[in-house]
Each structure stands twice: as C-alpha cells, then as structure tokens.
Structure 1
Amino acid sequence: MTRHAEPPASRTINERLSAVRGEQAGLRRVAFLIGQLELGGAEKQLSLLARELRLRSIEVHVLLLSKGGPHEQTLREAGIGVHHLGFGRKPSGLPALRRNLVAFARLVVLLRGLRLDVLHAFLYESYMIGAVAARLARVPIVVAGRRGLRNRPDRPGWGSTLERAVNRVTDHVIANAAAVAEDARTVEHLPAHKLSVIYNGLPETAFDPAEPENIDTPLPVILCVANLLKIKGHRFLIDAAATLARQGNPCTIILVGDGPEYAPLQTQATTLGLDVRFLGSRTDTAGLLARADIVVLPSLSEGLSNAVMEAMAAGRPTIATSVGGTPELLEDRGLLVPPADPAALAEAITHLLTHPQHATTLATAARAWARKNLDATAMTIQHINLYHQLLETRCVE
C-alpha cells in the first residue's frame, strides 16, 4: 500500500522540531535537481522545502539543468548552494548533443564532490537524467518526485522502457497527492512499496491576513492564478464569464500568470466583450486573494495545485475542476466541476455569488483543513523521516 504519512497536526512546532532532531541523525546533505526556477508550483515547493531543511541544519544544494529564475536569490540568501549545469532546453544537432554530454559529466562530477546523502529530482527531465548520474556518482539514495498526472498509457514503447529502467535505479518516489500516486502505479507500473504521498506545504505567511488590493470595478471579482497554458483551461473560464454576462451577472475576471496563451485569451475576451484583466506573473498574490470574491482554477489536469492551496489558506471561496489531486483539497470545502465545461463553471460561480453564506461556510472549512493538513513543518518532517528511513535501509543492506 502507498505510504501516506498524516501530518502531526496535534503536536506543537517545538515538539515537531524536537522529533526532527532525533530523526535526522545521519542525514547531512541533500540536493534537489530541477530544470529551472521559474514561477511554477513545483519550483515554489522546492524552494520552500529546501529552506525548511536548511533551517534544520541540513546542508542543501539546488542543481539546475538549464537556467535559474525568481527563486534563485531567495535560496542563496538562505545559505543554499545553487549550481547551474548548462543543459540545453531543446537540444537538436551535434553541437547540442556535445553540450548536454558535457553538462551530464559536470553533473556526475558535482554529485561526487558534494558527497550527498540524498538526491531528490523533482520533475520528469530531472529524474530521467538525475537517477543515472546519481548512480554513476554513487549517491546513496535517489528519490524522484511525481507532481502531476502523466495519463500517457499510449506513450512509445522505448519511452516506457527507459522510464521503467530509471524507476528500477530510483530508491523511492514521492507523489504530492493520492491521485498522482495512483497515476504512477497505473501508468508507470511503479510498485506500491516504492511510493509515498506527501502533500505540498504552505508557509505560515500564507495564512496571514492581507490588505485587499485595489481593483477598480463594481462587479464581482473572479481570480485565477495559473500560467497561461492550454492545460490550465482559462478559455473555459472566459466562456463561463460570457454565459454569466448573458444571464445578467457580469463579472471582472483577473488572470495572474504569463505564457503562450496570452494572445489567444486576450482575443477571446475582447471578442466576447468581457472585463478580463491580465496582470502577468506575480509573486505577491495575497492582496488579490483578499480582494477576490471567488477563486477559480479551470485546469484540464493538475497534481496538487498551489493556487488552490493558497486560496484555501486565504479563506476564499474556491471553484476548481475535479482533476488530479484537486478533489483531495476541495471535497466538501469548495465546489468541483467537470473540466472543459463552461456551463457547469458558470453555474457554480452563480451559486456562490447568490448564496454568500454557503460560500463563507466552504471557505472557512477550507482554511481550517489547509492549516491542519498543508503545514510546511509537517511536510518537511515527513521528507526528513522518509530520507532517514531510506538511508537506514541502505545501511542495513
């Protein structure tokens, strides 16, 4: 059975930290491997976990396949080593192959020099590269992360064969939701004993009250925080907004994020005559959350959404599509709708706007659940305990 450690919510932070001191014996150095440090959910969680480990006197390094990003300076200020490896983003041709071979050799040498206890690779390209490099460098424990649904049972045979080979040399896989773990078992045929579920975490600041940001509109404000990608389903939110406008319930839609769908979405909103505001990438969303009447995430696929978690912590009524780990977050604490269904989304928005007491009840329950189950300290302890158990097992072997 997949391991799913429950957060020790009943224990004080001091008690938890005392427990950690006993558990981390033998755990000295951990490195995280990821492609880059842009404003994505995985990058945010990596940064949070790395800083939490560093606070517990564990030496932490972050290894970047291709480039840095907004989280890099925060990590360096926390005393965490950040290393650029120089892999190409979209390699093609002989020069790119040479560059990536040099970068791979650089990775192996770096792993040997760091004398790690654990290498934790966060996303697909990272663990496909990192597991092999770690074994060549004789890193004792290799952990891979699964942070979204693969849903690709029809992938090419060579790809599945390669992934199974990498999984065999990986000691353990951490999924950030039960749905993600089930997907890994189904699609990748990972054995249950190599899988654990550890939910994403939220820093205490996510629960702090914030001053609502000034948004000049007399209409209800619907907020969506997500990179502008097709998989995030923004077009269905805009279609839902058009339905609401036709029904005499216009809203102001605030989209926070950037990406290749910006132009198509802007054209769609203009054509429909809607008040849709594109704010670009933002790290300071607390004021927007405080101002929003409803938070919506219309994704077609998700792992465990940071945007939904942050809306829950802020105590905002939330509507999201019933995909991936989202039902684990919002079951009985928000409204779930089918993906790619603007009519259902419009109906859910209308319900919360016309039933404010129900909206408040859901938001209050969501905030309480998030505080109990999405605590950054609990998430960190679960990682430390797992790393420690894996190291103990390796020593016994």
Structure 2
Amino acid sequence: MTGRVRVLRVVGELNFGGTEMRTAELLPRLAAAGTELHLVTLSDAVGPGPLADMVTRYGGTVTAMPLDPRFPARFLRLLGQLRPDVVHADCANFSGVPLALGALCGVPGRVAHFRGDDNQHRTLRRRIYRWVCGRLLRISATDILGVSPSSLTFGYHPCWRDDPRCQVVLNGLDLDRLRRPSPDDLRTLIGAGPGDLICVTVGRASPEKRRWLLPPILAALRDRGVSAHAVLVGPGDPADDDRVRAAAAAAGLGDRVHLLGPREDVGGLLRQADVVVHPSCLEGLPGGVLEPVALGVGTVAADLPGVRFIGERLPGVTIVGIDAPAQVWARAVDRAAAFTASTAPAVAADRFVHSVFAIDRAAAIHLEIYRRWASARPGRDLAPRESSRPPVGSGRWER
C-alpha cells in the first residue's frame, strides 16, 4: 500500500455508548494498517469519553457538527477539505444524508452501518422521516452493514439479503481493555456485605434501557431471601436517574441502588459482579451482554434478536421475556449467578477469542471495505486484498 486510507466516520455523539466504544477498540488496529480516521459527531458535545483523545492520538480529527440548517454546507465543506476515500455513517437511516452528500462530492466508498433493531412504534412523522432518509441511503450507499441479522431486518429492510451491498459485521470486543483492573473494590465502594449479591448493569440512561426495572428485581430477590445490590454504570440523565431513585425508594431499597455514572474501568467492575442484568428493550448486538459473557459473568437479558444471537454462540446468557414480571427476572438472576460461580474467567476468555465476536475479524472486514474503495479513487495505488466478505444470504453469521 503506497498511501493511507482516509475515512470520515459520522456518529451521533461521543460518549460511553456501544457504537463509540466499538469504534475506539477498532481504531488502533485500523491505524496500524494505514487507515486515517476522522470523526464527525452530530452533537456539540464532543465528550466525555475516550474516543476524542484516541482519534487525535492516531492522527485523526474530531469535528462537532450539530444538526441544524447549516449542517449540509458544513459537511460539504469538510468533505472538500479532507477528500476522504470513504464516508462511514453510524446513524441508522439518517446515514442516508451524509452518504448522499458524500456521493455529491464524489467520495468512492459510502458505508451505512446499522447498530440497532429500530423495532419500536413509529409515528407518522417518524415513518415519513425514515422513508426519506432510507431512500437517500438506498440511492447513495455502496455498502450497508449491520451488527446482526436483525439490525438489517428491522433497521434497513426485511429483504436485505437480496441487496448485494448488505453484510453482517459482528461487533468485536477488545478483551485487553476488559481485563484492565479497576482502582476500586466494588463491594467496599457500595458498602455491600460479603454475602450480598452484586448485580451490575452497563448502559447509558435512556428510556429503552429500562434501568428503573432494577429496583423491582432487587425487591423480588429480597422476597426470595437474597440480599442484593444493583450497580448502574453509564452516562446518566437527570430524569432517568430520578426515575431509578424513585423506584428504589418505593421498594425500600434506596441504599442498595448505586448510580456510578460513566466509568473507564467497566471491565474491572464487571469482573467483580456476581451477575449482570440487561433489561433493555431495544438493541442490535448489545455490548452490555457481550462484555460480561466474554468475562465469564452470567447475564440476564430481555428476549431480543441480538440477545438470542449471542446466546446461541456463547454460554452464560439467560433470556427472559421483555414484559416478564420482576419475579421471573429474579429467578433468572439466580441461574445466571450460578453460571458465574462455576465459570473460570480464563476459560470464558479463551472461548471468546475463538468465537465469531473476536475483534480481529471485525477489523479485517473494515479494512477490506476501506481499501477496496480507496483503490477505486483515481491516482491511488492500493494493493487489492482478497475480500473477507461472506456472500449475502450465505448464512455465515446466521442459523
């Protein structure tokens, strides 16, 4: 390869979310292979989070570009300055907008990446918005990726297998990051006794994460004679945090629900958990399930396609119905905690690195796509590589 591949990646905001963390974990591997990554965030909040520092450390830039009437002109101007080989947008159907602008500027590679299922009820306004953006996406995208089959089915189109641009690119996890120790002893931090069960949940504060279900689950465990604490890790939101605290107070468990906010030592905290509870009702391929399972921590999660996808390939996932009562969740917590107690972390890690979720697999597919389109730009001399892309509908990532 005689030149670097320049990628302009568009994300919603820089925070401790799944899209941002997966991008951050891929960055060292992509940079080492000659990829120059520049980031656009559709929010004026460039932090907190590790991604901004990582991007600049590896030679890229971060541009905050809020969605307002000036966005198209500003994005076009940035495209003219950077002249990227690829625009890679992680914005669901809105990805059609930056990809269409990329097509207008002659960017060879235009990648749409679906991270969630988007299977919620849609108002008329949202259906119109989705149709317009989806139309732009279908016209302008050269590659359409999904983190799971269901993310393409619900996020893009039910007949995605008939579109040769589509493929499933599973999120990879960096186990080295998850192995880093935490500076805190979690039991001491929250005041838990030696025999107390520690339930951890990781995720940002948003309605679909349903964090307020943790206190009723603790109450149901108490009814079963189990003394437990809930630890919530992730960026907070005043309204959502208040709802969690109100649910804890109503259950008489105000001193057993702990909101830690965003943390950079998530792996170190997870390794101290007895069980992870992930009550979210909207996911693609949830890192909040994949991360603890990779560490050998039993995880209870709502019945979603992405959760089933993980559970079919790795042990340690206990699935309950989305609308299951707290008593059902509590029984599932008992089973998941038993898995944690009987699983050696080294065995779980070895199983994970040989699974389809290994990060090197995801990095290889990203590099193949980026290099393919960089070599298509006139004047670029990038040695073509054999594609690692599975045939559409081949079932390589499916059952």
| DSSP-derived class of the 1:236 partner | helix
Cα distance in 2 between the residues matched to 1:252 and 1:161:
44
The answer to whether residue 44 in structure 2 is matched with residue 64 in structure 1 is no
Percent identical: 24
Question: What is the CA–CA distance in structure 2 between the aligned matches of 1:389 and 1:322, rounded to whole Å?
Answer: 37
Query: Secondary structure of the residue that 2:322 maps to in structure 1?
Result: coil
Residue pairs, 1:96-135, within 5 angstroms: 100-124=68-92, 127-135=95-103
Evaluate the alpha carbon distance shift between residue 55 and residue 388 of structure 1 in structure 2; reply closer, same or farther with a 3 A threshold: closer
Over 3 Å counting, the alpha-carbon distance change for 1:147 and 1:173 in structure 2 is same
1:121-157 CA distance string (max 9 Å, x none): 0113751321121122111111011000112585535
Instruction: Kindly report which structure 2 residues correspond to 1:1-16, keeping only aligned pairs within 5 A, or say none.
Output: none
Higher RCO (Cα < 8 Å, 6 or more apart): 1
Give 1:339 shift: 1.4
The equivalent of 1:231 in structure 2 is: 208
SS at match of 1:261: helix
The one of 327, 349, 362 aligned to 1:379: 362
The one of 329, 338, 350 equivalent to 1:345 is: 329
Q: TM-score with structure 2 length normalisation?
A: 0.81
Task: Tell me whether 1:74 sits opposite 2:44 in the alignment.
Answer: no
In structure 2, distance between residues paired with 1:44 and 1:357: 27
5+ residue gaps in structure 2?
Answer: 379-399
Counterpart in the other structure of 1:264: 243
**CA distance 1:38–1:208, change in 2 (3 Å):** closer
Amino acid aligned to 1:264: R
CA separation in 2, counterparts of 1:394 and 1:27?
12
**Is 1:318 matched with 2:288?**
no
**Which structure shows the bigger proportion of residues in helix conformation?**
1
Separation (CA, whole Å) in 1 of partners of 2:209 and 2:345: 22
Decide whether aligned partners of structure 1 residues 229 and 338 sit closer, same or farther in structure 2, where only a CA change above 3 A counts. Answer: same
1:333 paired with 2:315, answer yes
How many angstroms does 1:209 deviate by?
6.3
Pick from 268, 273, 283 the counterpart of residue 292 of structure 1. 273
CA RMSD of aligned residues (A): 2.8
Whether 1:166 aligns to 2:149 is no
Cα pair 1:223 1:253 within 8 Å, conserved: yes
Deviation, structure 1 residue 45:
1.6
1:104 to partner: Cα distance: 1.6
| 1:370 maps to 2:349 | no
SS at match of 1:291: coil
Distance in 2, matches of 1:357 and 1:189, equals 36
Per-residue deviation, 1:363: 7.0
Residues 392, 28 of structure 1: alpha-carbon distance in 2 compared, 3 angstrom cutoff: closer
Is the Cα–Cα contact under 8 Å of residues 235 and 265 in structure 1 kept in the other structure? Answer: yes
User: How far apart, CA to CA, are the structure 2 residues paired with 1:168 and 1:247?
Assistant: 56
Matched, 1:217 2:189: no
Unaligned runs of 5+ in 1: 1-23, 89-99
Tell me what 2:382 maps to. Answer: none
How far apart in 2 are the matches of 1:378 and 1:292?
28
Q: Within 1, Cα distance between the matches of 2:83 and 2:185? A: 47
Alignment TM-score, normalising by the size of structure 1: 0.81
Please, which moves more after superposition, 331-340 or 130-139?
331-340
